[in-house]
Amino acid sequence: MLDRIVRLIPEASKFLTVGAFAYVIDTGLFNLLRYVGDNPILDDKPLTAKVISATAATLFAYFGNKQWTYASRSGRKIPQEIFLFFILNAVAMAIAVLCLFISHYVLQFTSPLADNIAANVIGVGLGTLFRFVTYRRWVFVR
């Protein structure tokens, strides 16, 4: 078991590095759309802002993971790989959006800090765990 964990460290490190850059894109764009300027573009639409920011981050993450993290895994045809990647990312995005929805609309925590914790800490954290497990199992196979 320990041997298996040690073998996962390089792959997990690359995955987390790509994810860190995608996280900056996701969080930065979310906050730009929601809070920057006198009249933010999506001031009153937190779920729309999250979907847009997560989609941009997903595009970056696909290419980063494809070319670096899982470069040695090319067991699927590209169209099938892209389809599975985006389906699984849609599920991970739904996890983050659901966390934001519950926090913002059900619990009525509507401050910028609460929205960021719900969407970009809890939601992205849970989505990241989901992605790591599913990418290596179904998307980037050997």
Model confidence, pTM = 0.85
CA dist., res. 7 & res. 31, Å (int): 37
Q: What are phi and psi of 71, to 5 degrees?
A: -60, -30
Q: How far is residue 103 CA from its own chain's centroid? A: 18
End-to-end CA distance of the chain: 20
Task: Reply yes or no on whether the pLDDT at 75 is more than 90.
Answer: no
Which amino acid is located at 46 in the chain? P
- Mean pLDDT across 72-93: 89
Handedness of CA 55, 57, 58, 63 (dihedral sign): positive
pLDDT in tens, 36-62: 988 899 989 999 999 999 999 999 999
In this prediction, residue 8 carries a pLDDT of: 86
Question: Is residue 71 pLDDT above 80, yes or no?
Answer: yes
Task: Write the pLDDT tens digit of every residue in 83-137.
Answer: 999 999 999 999 999 999 999 999 999 999 999 999 999 999 999 999 989 998 8
| Distance in angstroms (rounded) separating the CA atoms of residues 67 and 50 | 26
Residue count of the chain, please give it: 142
Q: Tell me what pLDDT residue 141 has.
A: 85
pLDDT at position 118 is 97
CA distances from 49 to 3, 32, 37 (A): 42, 9, 15
